[in-house]
């Protein structure tokens, strides 16, 4: 997103933060600006991770200030999260950083346990070989894939598997979704031999606006009832086509239908929150927005850091 767009976004949402409630069309949460992944803690609280912040923030629905936070050490670029039972999985982008460096802390599948009082704690062990496993599933080498790979979406299936949505690469202008069948074993929370990741053949989705138009990658994916909501966006930030929602019933052919219509103008939508089968929320990354003349970045977020959201009805 351009700086001018982010300045407009800042002006709009800064004026809205105070009086807004959970029933408003748009509101914002404070403390970080680069919201990138979210998972429910309970029916009214959500855990939110950032691209580059050393903690996972927990918010009450519609309340701007975080309730608490959970420290995450030596992890960068968390882009997806999904809850299976009382375990929340967090997945990093597995991409090279902006300098082209291959950082270990950007290649992690990790888990946190959710306690009865809504707090998080470390659980299991970190798995760091997923990129090689994905490359094998895609018929590629890890060296070839790492220059293009960008994981963005993560969803739990009813069976306790994980769906991994790729922002890039696109394949023949179509987005790629992979199913990971043994996430519990990979982080040593399940029984049986760990081995390597069990990944099904990829599903290819046409997330374009029709024949002759440019495709989109997956920015997030979430189970709503018995189907999945796919948040799609251009592979580069701020590019075309603009972000859009689609429904997918899980078919292996990747057929999708149009999702809820949402005005994402001035937003970079990154994460889906499903409060229940009728209501949800889309979180936006506002990294780079000027706050009192300073670009917001979560490596050292300013006092007034925030990220905007938009409510959904399913």
Q: What is the pTM of this model?
A: 0.91
Per-residue confidence (pLDDT) for residue 293, from 0 to 100:
87
pLDDT per position as a tens digit, 246-289? 999 999 999 999 999 999 988 999 999 999 999 999 999 989 88
Low-confidence ranges of the chain (pLDDT < 70): 1-25, 193
Contacts 24+ apart (CB under 8 A), 103-109: 103/76, 104/128, 105/74, 105/75, 105/76, 106/76, 106/77, 107/131, 108/75, 109/183, 109/186, 109/187
Strand segments, DSSP code E, in 72-187 are: 78-84, 87-92, 109-114, 120-127, 150-156, 162-171, 174-180
Per-residue confidence (pLDDT) for residue 222, from 0 to 100:
98
Per-residue confidence (pLDDT) for residue 193, from 0 to 100:
67
pLDDT per position as a tens digit, 208-219? 999 999 999 999
Per-residue confidence (pLDDT) for residue 26, from 0 to 100:
80
Per-residue confidence (pLDDT) for residue 76, from 0 to 100:
87
Per-residue confidence (pLDDT) for residue 13, from 0 to 100:
46
Per-residue confidence (pLDDT) for residue 24, from 0 to 100:
38
Per-residue confidence (pLDDT) for residue 25, from 0 to 100:
54
């Amino acid at each position: 997103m351009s700086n001018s767009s982010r300045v407009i976004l800042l002006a709009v949402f800064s004026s809205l933060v105070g009086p807004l409630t959970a029933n408003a069309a748009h509101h914002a949460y404070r403390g970080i600006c680069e919201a990138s992944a979210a998972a429910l803690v309970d029916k009214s609280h959500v855990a939110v991770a950032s691209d580059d912040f050393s903690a996972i923030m927990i918010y009450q629905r519609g309340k701007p200030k975080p309730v608490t936070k959970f420290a995450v050490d030596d992890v960068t670029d968390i882009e997806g999260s999904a809850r299976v039972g009382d375990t929340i999985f967090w997945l990093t982008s597995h991409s090279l950083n902006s300098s082209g460096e291959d950082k270990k802390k950007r290649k992690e599948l990790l888990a946190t346990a959710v306690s009865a009082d809504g707090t998080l704690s470390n659980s299991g062990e970190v798995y760091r070989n997923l990129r090689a496993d994905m490359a094998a599933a895609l018929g590629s080498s890890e060296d070839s894939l790492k220059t293009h790979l960008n994981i963005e979406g993560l969803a739990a299936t009813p069976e306790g598997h994980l769906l991994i949505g790729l922002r890039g690469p696109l394949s023949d202008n179509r987005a790629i979704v992979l199913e990971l069948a043994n996430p519990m074993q990979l982080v040593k929370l399940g029984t049986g031999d760990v081995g390597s990741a069990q990944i099904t053949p990829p599903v290819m989705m046409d997330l374009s606006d029709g024949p002759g138009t440019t495709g989109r990658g997956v920015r997030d994916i979430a189970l709503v009832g018995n189907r999945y909501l796919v948040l799609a966006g251009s592979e580069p930030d701020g590019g075309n086509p603009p972000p859009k929602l689609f429904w997918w019933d899980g078919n292996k052919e990747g057929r999708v239908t149009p999702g809820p219509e949402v005005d994402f103008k001035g937003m970079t939508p990154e994460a889906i929150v499903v409060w229940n089968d009728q209501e949800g929320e889309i979180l936006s990354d506002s990294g780079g927005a000027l706050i009192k003349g300073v670009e917001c970045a979560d490596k050292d977020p300013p006092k007034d850091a925030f990220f905007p959201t938009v409510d959904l009805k399913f």
